[in-house]
Each structure stands twice: as structure tokens, then as C-alpha cells.
Chain A
Amino acid sequence: MTASLLSISGLSAVSDREGGMPILRDVSLSLERGEVRGLVGESGAGKSTIAKALLGILPRTVRVTGGTVQFEGRDLLTMPARELRDIMGAQISLIPQDPQTALNPGRRIEAQLTDGLRLRRGLSSREAHARALKLLEEVQIRDPQRVLHAFPHELSGGMRQRVLIAAAFALEPKLVVADEPTTALDVTVQKQILRLIRDMQKVHGTAVIFVTHDLGVVAQICDSVTLLYAGKVIEAGATADVLQNPKHAYTKALMAAGPRYDRPDAGLEPVPQAVFEQLRAEIGIR
């Protein structure tokens, strides 16, 4: 059996804070090398919990009750903390949601961009500087020399997100977790950032887990998609299949709910109450 890069199987978790309420119900998904998978769902669907589990940063209040998260054949959930730390950041990295808070306001970009290169790869500051310049060019920052010497507050939101993307790819990870990386950005910048992530991913052959609540984003950059509701996988498959031929009523309703740029006067179509009732019945929640 050729192991997938990532294989989550039967992952279940409960929230201890909310009296043991299930937040993941028997979730399974797998990811091949170089694949981009969208993880879609509304707030509380469990998509961020999966992302956190991948990064080994589940909050203390979340308790995994079953399942495995195999990365290259090794279970991240049972791995000794020391080994996990070696994988995190180097093999699995994160593009965070909000570029405003994800860069340290008190440190120059160069220092933050080269931390991993110096700590993990043992590069000298000169080597790390050269590598950082290259990375910034790769993410299409026009004046990389200036940006390296800048503090975060001197950069725009889009620029910061580019820096964070460069940082996420700095150590040539095998998997990048992108946690709603465009929600905090302008619509015009969103498109550029999406394209950039796609380009970087192709050039580096990196697999990406793309957490989002936007099916439009999924259509643009994901090879495959997993749709979650209340911690349960509702529908999964190749993006084209799922979007063109949705099987579940919830998927259909979600697609209908999105705004139509070609018909701005059409208004929004909320997901019908009946669909939620069907979902709850299927999952077994009242």
C-alpha cells in the first residue's frame, strides 16, 4: 500500500468545556502529495479543529476520543512531543488567518522570516538573508530588500500575507495548512493571494489543506473538497464532481446560497430549514 501523505481516519473529538459535546464525528480524509484539499464548513463545523490537530495545537479543552492522524505513515496524535515538534513548522506549516496578528509587531520581517531557517536548518544569518530575499521574490514582493528591513506595521495586509506565505514555504514543508488565509483581506487582494498560494504549491509540489467557508474559493484552487457539518463529513470528492454534481441537499443548498456576481439583483438564498433538519437527523443530533 502506498501510503498517502496524510490520512485521517475515524477522528472523533469532544469539547470538555461544553460538557463533552462532540466536535468531530468519525472524520476520515486522505491527502496525496501535492494535492490541494478544501476543508469547508460553517463556523463550528470542525474544520479548524482538524487544522489544529494537524498542527499539534489542539486546545486543552478538546479531547480526542478516537481515530488516527497519519502523516507519512506515523500517527501525529500518539507521537512523542519532541518528534512532533520536529515535524511541525518544518514538514507541516501554517498560513494563518489574520496577517495583522500573525507577525510580531516588534521584530523586523527578516528576523521573523529567517527564524526557521536559522533554528531548524542551521543557516548562518547571511545564508538566511539570501534565502529570505529569494522567498520574498518568489511571493512577488517588489522591493524585497526594503521589506526585509521593515516592521510589520509598515506593510499592507496583502504584503503581510505574502510574507507569511513565504514563511510557510521557507522550509520546503510537505504539507501547508492554510487557515482561511484570505478572509481578513480585501476582495481584490484575495484573488491575488489565492493565485499565489496555488502557484507556490505547484512550484514546490506541496500538499495544501485549505480551510474555508467559501465554496467559490474551493472552486478556484482546490483539487478536492471535504464538506463538514457539526463535525461530520457530509460530502467529499474531487472539486469538479462535488460542485457540478452535488449529492447532498446541504451541498446543493450551500451552492445556491452564495452570492451571484453575474446576477447581483438576485438576492441571497438561505439554506432552507428542512435541510438542517435532515442534517441533524442524519448525524443524530436534536
Chain B
Amino acid sequence: MIAVSILKRLLMAAITLFGVAVIVFVLLRVVPGDPIAMMISPGASPESIAALRAQYGLDASLPVQFLVWLKAVVVGDFGTSISLRRNVLELLAERLPATLELAIVALLVAVVLGGAVAVLGTLLRRTPGEPVVDTVNGLCLAVPDFVWALALVLVLGVAFPVFPLSGRINPGVQVDFATPFYLIESLVTLRFKVFADVAAHMVMPVLALGLPLAAIITRVLKEALLEAMVQDYILLARLKGMSSLRLVLQEALRNAIGPTIALTGVQFTFLIGGTVIVERIFAYPGIGNMAIDAVINRDLPLIQGLVLVFGALFIVINLLVDMLVVAFNPRLRHG
């Protein structure tokens, strides 16, 4: 039963990815902009242009190009980046971990911060504190990630230079990492100075990405918590002598958290989309930043690889979210 539904999901994922691949492939070739034109020096002969075109397989018809590319992708060959002249898969393997670390830390910050504020707002129900919480939260909700990024740059990077403005690690820090997961690796290998430097570089992009999500979590979770708090079982639990905090955390939260998990999943995919612009602002070497360069350079193989990676990420996240929702709702567990 479970095996069947997992198989179904995998099949759906494959179809989705295929659809993404087709759309991107066609779009990239329909929009104006010629990758070869970006490469050649002015005044190159038509012969050398044609030779380059043939070298990258761009002289064939569209369906043929697609099939050639798809055949290679299926066996793990994503081609060679036109602008960077390196294997696309290698580039992705180098850059993806940076983005994953950034996005996951931002997600954790959003969940912890948003969850805590939601609980606080629920406890402050009908006190003067509630409108304060709601107002601050509304403000965070209204400001998008890239505006946060710019504001943080101005305040914590320029006016009060507390955190490093750009990059992933201070170039002066002498380290050789065995993996591209700098944050995790430095923590696991107990190199706390390096860890502190990597973490400091992440503070501002993490806040820019995490604050809007935290605000969304707060709003949805607080709403659901307040709805749960007027249920009879809360009243009975209160009569059993539970404190208000315990009522919220033990009784209300587990019933209120379902919609929040589902929404957080959706919003997390938007957060990953947001890494593109936020990584750019902080010159953070992730796939988002790379995606902008790839588009500017009309680097077709690289763009295609990047989009597939983003698509796969979205699918995996949605799958995880569905599993989490079921895990938190005993009524969905059977059948």
C-alpha cells in the first residue's frame, strides 16, 4: 500500500521534471539571445561561429537538440557550461550545498522564530501585548526578502558593520574543506572559529530569507492556535490543572500545526526561489547567484541544469511536507 503510493509519487515526480525540462528547453531557445554571440570576439568569421555552434550542438533542429540533451541527462551528463567551460554537474555539486545550507538555516530560523511568536501571541490573547505582536508581525509580512536584504546591508553592514557584507567565508580564513557543506563540516570537525566565520556570513541573508517566512508562520499558526484554544478539550485540560503555556504546547499545537506545515512547505519553495536575488545581493556563492550569471550569459546547459535542480528540490520538499502532515495527524495515518 505504502510502496504503491511511493511509486506513484516517484512517477509523478519524473513526469513533472520532464515537463519542466521541456518548457525550459523550449523557452530558452525561443527567447532572444544567442549564447554563441556572447562568446565570440567581435568580427569573428561566420565559419568560426558555425564551428562553435556545431561544437555545442546548437546547429541541429530543436527536437533533436532536446533528445540529445535528454539522453545525456538521463545518464547523468548535464553537458558543459558555455560561459564557465566546466562540467555542469560539477558546478552544481559545488554550489548547491551553499544554497541548501542557507535555505535550511533560514527555514529553521523562520520556524523557531515564527513558532515562538505565534505561541507568544496566543498566550497574550486579549492583552495589550496582542496588538503589538500582530503589528510587528504584519510589518514583517509586508516586507519582501530583497527589501529586507537591502535594509540589512544598510544597517548591519554599512551603518553598524557588525556582519560581513558578502561571500560565504572570509578569504583570510585558511581552511581546506573536504565537502562543500562549510557550515556543517566546520561544526562537525569542531573548528569553531571557522564555523563562526561561516555563520556570520550567513546571518544577513538568512534573516532576509527567514523573516518573511517567520511572519507567515506566525500568522497562520497563531490563527490556528486561537481556534484550537476555544475547543472543549482545552477547557477540560485547563480544568485538569494545566498551565496556559502547557495548554498551548501540549494540547493546541498538535492540532493547529497541520495547516502551518503544509503552508510552510509551499512557502519554503518560494524561499528557495528567493535565494536567487538574496544570494546576488550578498554575493553568496550558491546556485541562485550562479543562475543569474547563467541567464545573463545565455549559458543554456547551465540554465537547464539549474532549473532541473530547482524543480527536483521543489518536488522533494513537497513530498516531505506531505509526509510530515500525515505524521502529525493521526486521523490521516490509516488508509
| Interfacial residues, chain A to chain B (CB-CB below 8 A) | 55, 57, 60, 85-86, 88-90, 93-94, 96-98, 101-107, 112, 115-116, 119-120, 151, 153, 164, 167
Contact = CB atoms under 8 A, between A and B. Distances in A.
Given A96-B232, A98-B232, A106 B239 contact: no
A97 B233 CA distance: 11
A106 B328 CA distance: 8
- CB-based closest 4 A-B pairs: A106-B254, A89-B239, A102-B232, A104-B233
Interface in B297-335: 328-331
A77 B232 CA distance: 22
Nearest to A153: B331
Contacts of B239: 55, 57, 88-89, 93-94
Interface string B215-255: 00000000000000001110111111110000000010011
Contacts of A90: 241
Given A106-B254, A106-B255, A115 B331 contact: no
A60 B127 CA distance: 13
A14 to B, nearest CB: 20
Nearest to B329: A106
Nearest to A151: B330
Nearest to B257: A106
A92 B63 CA distance: 78
A255 to B, nearest CB: 31
Given A105-B331, A115-B242, A116-B241, A96 B254 contact: no
B295 to A, nearest CB: 46
Contacts of A85: 241
A112 B232 CA distance: 13
Main secondary structure of the interface of B (DSSP, over half): helix
B162 to A, nearest CB: 42
Contacts of B237: 104, 112, 115
Contacts of A112: 233, 237
B240 A103 contact: no
A103 B231 CA distance: 9
Contacts of B329: 106
Interface string B126-146: 100000000000000000000
Nearest to A167: B236
Contacts of A94: 235-236, 239
Given A57-B235, A120-B241, 7 more contacts: A96-B232, A98-B232, A104-B237, A106-B328, A106-B329, A153-B331, A167-B236
B247 to A, nearest CB: 10
B227 to A, nearest CB: 12
B331 A151 contact: yes
A153 B330 contact: yes
A50 to B, nearest CB: 16
A106 B331 CA distance: 8
A102 B240 contact: no
A76 to B, nearest CB: 13
A241 to B, nearest CB: 33
Contacts of B236: 94, 96, 102, 164, 167
Contact of A104 (B241, B255, B328, B331): B255
Contacts of B233: 101-105, 112
A105 B255 contact: yes
20 contacts: A55-B239, A57-B238, A57-B239, A85-B241, A88-B239, A88-B241, A94-B236, A96-B236, A97-B232, A102-B232, A102-B233, A103-B233, A104-B237, A104-B251, A104-B254, A104-B255, A105-B255, A106-B330, A116-B241, A120-B241
A71 B238 CA distance: 20
B244 to A, nearest CB: 11
Nearest to A119: B241
Nearest to A100: B232
B235 to A, nearest CB: 7
